[in-house]
Amino acid sequence: AVVGIPSVLAAWAYASWIGKRIFVDVPQDMVEAAAEAKEAVAAEQRAAGVTPHEKPVPLLTVLAIIGTPLVLILAATFSSIALDPSTLRSVVEFFGNPFVALTIALFLAYYLLGIRRGWSRKSLESVSTSSLKPV
C-alpha cells in the first residue's frame, strides 16, 4: 500500500498527461477485419431475415462476462487455502483454472452477446474468425 497507491496515482497522472500528446492510429488491417466481420454478419442476418439489434449491451451483461473468469479464478485460489482436500475443492479448482474459466466466459459471451441477440452460429463463427485474422 505504501508503494502501490503512489505508483497508481503517478501512473494515472502520467497517462493523462501523455495521452494528450500521443495519438496512434488503429492498424489498417484491423480496421479492414472489423469491416469484413460486420459486413459478413449483416449479410448473414439479411439472408436469414433477422433484424440486427443495434441497441447497446446492458452494463450488467458486460460485467457478468468480465467478472465470471475473475470470480472463478479467485474461488479456486481461496479454495486451496480455505477448503480441505475434497471433491468440492477439486471441482472449484478445475473451474478456476484460468483456461477453463476463460473458456466459460467465452461461451457466456457467445450466448449473451450473440445467440440471445439474434445472431446465428454461422455469424458467430464469421466474427470469431475475422477477429483472429490480425493475430
Say what the pLDDT of residue 115 is: 86
Asked if residue 105 is part of any domain, the answer here is yes
In this prediction, the residues of the chain whose per-residue pLDDT falls under 70 are 48-54, 134-135
Cα 10–chain centre separation? 28
Residue 12 domain flag: no
Q: At 93, which helix (H) or strand (E)?
A: helix 87-95
pLDDT at 34: 86
- Asked whether residue 118 is domain-assigned, the answer is yes
- Give per-residue burial for 81-107: e unless 16+ CB within 10 Å, then b: eeeeeeeeeeebbebbeeebbeeebee
* Overall residue count recorded for the chain in this entry: 135
Task: Supply the pLDDT for residue 50.
Answer: 63
pLDDT at 128: 84
Q: Is the torsion defined by CA of 51, 56, 60, 63 positive or negative?
A: positive
The answer as to whether 97 is a domain residue is: yes
Asked if the structure places residue 69 within a domain, the reply is yes
Residue 70 lies in a domain: yes
Domain that holds residue 60: 26-132
**C-alpha grid cell for residue 38?**
460486420
| Cα dihedral 62/66/69/71 (nearest 10) | -90
Q: Work out how many domains the chain is built from and give that number.
A: 1
